[in-house]
Amino acid sequence: MSVQQDLLREAAQKESLARDFDGYVKELADVFNGIPTTPERSAAVWKGQAADRYTAQGRQLHLEIVNLGESCAATARNLRRRAQQLREEAAQARESP
């Protein structure tokens, strides 16, 4: 296999992995969709100190999920950036004698 083909194959793999991370971001966004994480929304289920603990933990988990989603999105961007660099290297390898 040529250097150019290796570079293009690696770029394609990085693009595929970036798409996977984009999918994870979308899935993570749905994790808390519909789950009551405020006292007003959880009042029908949780009361008193249990409600306070529930909403505090729900808010914390929600923040962690948001941070994880942002990390996944950043990873996807970085993978795409590296894939573009590899394609550019492959183009230069093609032009070299």
Per-block average pLDDT, block size 10, for the chain (97 residues)? 91 97 89 75 79 87 90 97 97 78
pLDDT of the residue at 96: 66
User: CA-to-CA distance for 9 and 3, rounded, in angstroms?
Assistant: 10
- Which amino acid is it at 8? L
- Provide the H-helix boundaries in 1-97: 3-31, 39-42, 48-95
Give the pLDDT score at 71: 96
At 97, the amino acid letter reads P
CB 71 within 8 A of CB 13: no
Q: Quick one: tokens of 73?
A: 């999105």
pLDDT at position 69 is 93
